[in-house]
Amino acid sequence: MSAAKSKAKDFLLAVEGLTVSFDGFKAVDDLSFYLDPKEIRVIIGPNGAGKTTVLDLICGKTKATSGSIKFDGKELTKLKEHQIVHSGVGRKFQTPSVFEDLTVFENLEVSYPQGHSVMGALAFKRDRAVIEAVEEVAETIFLSDALNEPAASLSHGQKQWLEIGMLLIQKPDLLMLDEPVAGMSVTERKKTAELLKVITKDHTVLVIEHDMQFVGDIADRVTVMHQGKVLSEGSIEHVKSDPKVIEVYLGH
């Protein structure tokens, strides 16, 4: 027990024996994996493998049936969503979910990690620090020129970037991205890969992705999921040559 605990401490994220069942169907079944600090991990797997559910479990959107998720030594399964965010986990959803009625600036401002209580939000002032943080992030996500535009007027790709920016401004230790390049044009994809490279300099990133080319570009390690379990794990080459992976996912 104590050995397991100390083991969990060295990792930024330690998922152990994680299980969730929906009416008897185990979407995630006794799953364990570990993330090192500053690691970029990509989760791949066929549809219905439970990839998105894993992210849902980590960020608290779905409650685990059993198992543990330790983040920086803290148990996440008991926390509420916003508490998980405050402990340093940011989550991007598959379809871009930004606040369409607000401007790009306001979208980022809302995500700025200050004034998150009711009274805090009432007293919140747009000071220099906020403006600088917003401008800095806007620069990173290629949206410096669009700060005053409503988010509704952005392209699909730009919305994806904006949502990534909304995570960045929270200064999370762990970023979870669900298919960040889905629906993007080739140029947007390239820019996103660049963006991720910048981000990964000082964040741990957990990505779900299908595009193997893209996976190869960014991943330190790859976890392949199948039917709620880990099928294979390791470098991209290792995974690509694993016969089990070829069988269920990559195809012959």
Partner 1 sequence: MKNSSPLKWFGSREGLYYLALAFLLVVLLPLMLDPFRLNMVGKYLTYAFVAIGLVMCWGKAGILSLGQGVFFGLGGYCMAMFLKLEASTPEATAIQSTPGIPDFMDWNQLTELPWFWEPFHSFSFTLIAVIGVPVLLAFVIGFAMFTRRVGGVYFAIITQAIAAILTILIIGQQGYTGGVNGITDLQTLMGWDIRTDAAKTTLYFICVGMLFLCLFIARLVQNRKLGRILVAMNAQEMRVRFSGYDVAAFKIFVFCLAAAFAGVGGAMFTLIVGFMSPSFIGIVASIEMVIFCALGGRLSILGAVYGALLVNAAKSGFSESFPELWPFAMGALFIGVVLAFPNGLAGLYQTYVMPLEDKLFERGKGARAEATPAKPAAERKPKTEKTDDYDPMIDSYSPEKS
The footprint of partner 1 on residues 197-236 (CB under 8 A) is none
Contact flag: residue 3 with partner 1 (CB under 8 A): no
Sheet with 74-75, strands from edge to edge, namely 25-35, 13-22, 66-71, 74-75
Helix (H, G, I), strand (E, B) or coil at 49: coil
Q: Minimum distance from CB of 118 to partner 1 (Å)?
A: 5
Query: Judged by CB under 8 A, does residue 93 bind partner 1?
Result: yes
Task: Please give the sequence-ordered ranges of beta strands (E in DSSP) within the chain, or none if there are none.
Answer: 13-22, 25-35, 40-44, 66-71, 74-75, 89-92, 174-178, 204-208, 221-226, 229-234
| Identity of the residue, 101 or 237, whose beta carbon is nearer to partner 1 in the bound complex | 101
Task: By CB under 8 A, tell whether 34 contacts partner 1.
Answer: no
For position 126 contacting partner 1 by CB under 8 A, the verdict is: yes
Size of the site for partner 1 (CB under 8 A): 40
Determine whether 111 is exposed, middle or buried from the number of CB atoms within 10 Å of its CB (0-12, 13-18, 19+). buried
CB of 151 to partner 1, least distance (A): 10
Q: Where are the beta strands (DSSP E) in 100-220?
A: 174-178, 204-208
- 3-state SS class at 179: coil
Binding of partner 1 at residue 56 (CB under 8 A)?
no
Residue 127 vs 202, nearer CB to partner 1: 127
Per CB under 8 A, the list member of 52, 53, 170, 204 interacting with partner 1 is 170
Q: Out of 26, 61, 191, 229, which residue is the one contacting partner 1 (CB under 8 A)?
A: 61
